Amino acid sequence: MSTTSIASQGRAYLAIPGPSVMPEAVLQAMHRAAPNIYAGELIDIAASLVPDLKAVARTDGHVAMYIGNGHAAWEAALANTVAPDDTVLVPATGRFAHGWAEMAEGLGARAQILDFGKRAPWDLDQIADALRADTGHAIKAVLAVHVDTSTSVRNDVPALRRILDDLDHPALLMADCIASLGCDRFEMDAWGVDVMVTGCQKGLMVPPGMSFVFFNDRAQAVRAAMPRVSRYWDWEPRANPQEFFMYWNGTAPTHHLYGLRTALDMIHAEGIEHVWARHTLLARAIWAACETWAQTGPLELNVARAEDRSTAVTALRLGSPHGTALRDWVSEHLGLTLGIGLGMAPPGDPAWHGFFRLGHMGHVNGHMIMGLLGGIETGLTALDIPHGTGALEAAAQVIAKG
């Protein structure tokens, strides 16, 4: 074996922005024989998830659970609220808003996209102009991605609510919190969000496979007025199940329920405010390191202003081919997997190799983040990519001061 990969064995670390690191306790909760789905503890566990999910989302509204990934929740939210020929307004700050818009178009809706590029948050004035111009109230919903995982831009959801209120526009405010829930502060009711979608494999720390649509009574009224809602995606029986199978429209995601039960216990034991504060502190350490590396050489944070950055994911620019080279090196030599750049350049374009992303969502603590940063520093050094010195010291200062 070559000595260059001498440091690769040991516990692997997947530092991509979803799926995230799974706690041992979650894995252990799932490691069991198949449970009965007709009677027994699974019935109670499913019912117990509902109030705890709502507590994480900060809502007294309703939640429907789906077996599916985040894309499933996107479709579910639309299937209950947006009919063919309806219009949705989609402010985009990266790949994911476009994906949600495409899903709406697939259901026959019209998507009016406002594209704000890949490095900055929504321009609220342009959103206000678009809503003001919609005097006939054709726009039925605004599809608002809270944190775009491809760019690591975080958008100001409460400000969007204020615009809708100021204009007296009746469009539903629908938020994608797939990357942000359980990481970045999000308060569904206080922020006036009507529909919120999320998945289980990011801040909720469970393997991919479940997703959730939260909705309030306003959204339910829109659902009630729909000409039809496809039976599978209908949120009504799932949110008000008369029988256990109605939660899922079929067989329950048995082992996910054990895993999610444990993950929610962990979140509630820590406290959601503490979870948010932990993500903020660790993100600030990452930014401090990145800003130090950026003092010399090609590395650059994708989002310039700290207040526009997610605390769950960080997108970085390193120039081609350094991004791919760094990811390959730390994977081969350190057992550390960094995220690819997503949607920043077309695959096949040499520029594609100029990006990478860090996932720091969910089950992450100080030593993991210092290890992640140390791994990047090691890769930059091994590959002779110029970078400012003192990044780890800068990160340590942030965490040390708390």
- Please give the residue ranges that form the binding site for ligand PLP (CB under 6 A): 18, 69-71, 96, 145, 147-149, 176, 178-179, 199, 208
What is the 8-class DSSP label of residue 346? -
Residue 31 one-letter amino acid: H
* CA neighbours closer than 13 Å in the CB half-sphere of residue 47: 10
* Minimum CB distance to ligand PLP, residue 357 (Å): 11
* Minimum CB distance to ligand PLP, residue 70 (Å): 2
Q: Which is nearer to ligand PLP, 260 or 391 (CB)?
A: 260
Q: Which is nearer to ligand PLP, 43 or 76 (CB)?
A: 76
Q: How far is CA 11 from the centre of its chain?
A: 25
Residue linked to tokens 């670390």: 13
Q: Which is nearer to ligand PLP, 76 or 128 (CB)?
A: 76
Backbone angles phi, psi at 118, to 5 degrees: -120, 10
* Minimum CB distance to ligand PLP, residue 308 (Å): 15
* Minimum CB distance to ligand PLP, residue 147 (Å): 6
* Minimum CB distance to ligand PLP, residue 133 (Å): 27
Q: How far is CA 170 from the centre of its chain?
A: 26
Residue 335 one-letter amino acid: G
* Minimum CB distance to ligand PLP, residue 310 (Å): 9
- Which SS3 state, helix, strand or coil, does residue 337 take? strand
Strands 355-359 and 336-340: antiparallel
* Minimum CB distance to ligand PLP, residue 202 (Å): 6
Q: What is the CA radius of gyration of the chain?
A: 22
What is the 8-class DSSP label of residue 383? T
Tokens of 358: 């860090």
Q: Measured on CA atoms in the order 307, 313, 315, 316, is the torsion positive or negative?
A: positive
Q: Which is nearer to ligand PLP, 199 or 354 (CB)?
A: 199
* Minimum CB distance to ligand PLP, residue 204 (Å): 11
Question: CA end-to-end span of the chain, whole Å?
Answer: 42
Q: Which is nearer to ligand PLP, 23 or 207 (CB)?
A: 207
- Which SS3 state, helix, strand or coil, does residue 55 take? helix
Q: Which is nearer to ligand PLP, 329 or 355 (CB)?
A: 355
What gap in Å lies between CA 25 and CA 47, rounded to an integer?
21
**Which residue's CB comes closest to ligand PLP?**
70
Burial 7-26 (b: 16+ CB within 10 A, else e): eeeeeebebbbbbbbbbeeb
Q: Which is nearer to ligand PLP, 71 or 363 (CB)?
A: 71
Q: Which is nearer to ligand PLP, 286 or 391 (CB)?
A: 286
Residue 32 near residue 255 (C-beta atoms within 8 A):
yes
- Which SS3 state, helix, strand or coil, does residue 389 take? coil
